[in-house]
Structure 1
């Protein structure tokens, strides 16, 4: 059986020897190069399963080599070796297409983990099927999104997934995980806006028995639970500033300390994050730390809203109705032409999640397995006019119209926060007292 082969690029003989010995013990054949030219010569002569390159080389930089390999040998994962503390350099390497990075002095345990992860990527590369049928739609924005997911799955770079509520950000994060070398390890999603601030440190990093009132036993944190896999931080903009500082340290040091613990525990976690807010605007408003923003937003992936891919609505609706029929054991319902046109003209502020809720309601109301426009309960006041807004002619009563909008937004906030009223109030910029009043006024229980 042919042994896997690694290319080591460094102008320091001691570093090359250390890497050769370590990789040799992992049953890899190695080839060494002292500069960019020698590395290119080796790449032209032999196939490689992995490349480790120093940043500073006599005739160029490791960044140039990363870009060259991305263009000529995109199937080869490249890891950058940088000086300790050169975080900007490492981030630039990840943006250029590097698989991951190491800092000097090289930690051999971390090196072995990185190599093993990279080789798993090469081993499973041919086995991964295209992004599966959960990501529906053949519109140009969705075709682009699928390609981006497959590309980002090959990297270990942190990814910031931007997009509106209900557009499918968690599904995208899950697909990036499942298509990558960590697919057999845990995928741990967490809604940052749903965790009380006083419990946040314990939830993320765990705690020791007796560390605070109520800590009756040791508890594992989210970072430890995701060790070897992926931690998905949903609604990351909702993290309070003190927790942002602690999260930044955990990401940079790749280690966490449980509340009440004395020792830090090393964790190997890939970070994916998402929020429906404009994270750059949150930084400008000083509600989100700029250093954490740059650490999380190494690569940004935008998930398009449903109104930008209206041609996918028919396919999405058909799939959702089939799933409803299978789940309920009832016959499949069909959308009438008028109902489908009604859906295509609607703006969908709640995106795919709103479409799913709308169809589930219509499915239970329809007769003879035919969903009509009236079954959608999509009032004309909510449908866009020629300028994309409700026209005055569509409004019979302003108070009722505003009440409908208010109810819709409150229901959306409650659904997104799993009916956590405090979190929903925060999402809407309301006090809890004001939220309670509105729920009572609108008859929402």
Structure 2
């Protein structure tokens, strides 16, 4: 089945505008014609009423019906009859001599209108207006509606030609103007199609129109900048990960090659221990890489209410090469995952252990709104310029020593990720007596009693 061809935006807009204008013109045209005809008929009625009242006034002044019908000016075009109370024609103008009553006597004190046709064997229509005189007789005056009908037909004819032309003009103008308005969008689309993953540094031109197109251009450029940053970070991550994974693999291979060259003199128990250590290092590295790669791509984890002081105390109590001094406030509740907070604390302690000389210090304090975990060592500290960079992936300030101690440069990056997932922040400060101090702040959970 072929792909259904869709109507373009400019065509849909032109059609919608044409339909809206067509409906509006139809309503306005009908209302205009009706109003015009009403006004013209009222004008004819005024003339007929004036003639009828003139005759009625003559009758009231004592003139005979014959004299009264001769009073209105107009000659042969005057159509007037005088009727008695029974509707009998008492007198008529020259054009109506010998004709029956145009309408029956109404007996109403108010003028009444009647529309007649076929008068004098003509197809024209007439408006007859009846006025009752003071003596009970009625005066009928008629006026032709030919001018009204002709004017109405002419107006309808003009509208029948003008309205479609106006609708067509609106459709063409809409089509052209929408096309011009969308031209910058099409230009953006064409240039955006040329942007590839191989080169995300290209940017779209930003027209200085001050409208939605300019804002769209700015937004697209901001999106391209974010994509470029993301792709660059991904490339660096892949490169760094490849480098880190290559190191333990190369070490394992070297150990086996050296042992194979040594032959029977090889200490295979020592080789096995070294291979297991490198394998453990490789396993930790792969686990860390998977954790970083999955961050933000899966469903949010299930959090629970927990006592973070127990988590910190348990991690601080693990056996280490240096003593760990603790000052932990009890019964401090947060909402989170125990394993994630334990890993974040363990990463900080492992990192501090590699840099400390003789002592580690862990403190946990809390306020009404926040929880603070501080891990302090007495090493050389971290220069202020590097205190944000150390939280990036694969960053080592002391490459040789950290690699020898088994660090991959991912511990602090993972810690920051876990802390941010819990709505907290992490920063690095100077320790009071030298060294470095890492500070974690988490929102404290409130328990309603």
TM beyond 0.5:
no
Give the shorter-chain TM-score range: under 0.3
For the pair shown, which has the larger CA radius of gyration, 1 or 2?
2
Normalising by structure 1, report the TM-score: 0.22
Answer 1 or 2: higher relative contact order, Cα 8 Å, separation at least 6: 1
Normalising by structure 2, report the TM-score: 0.22
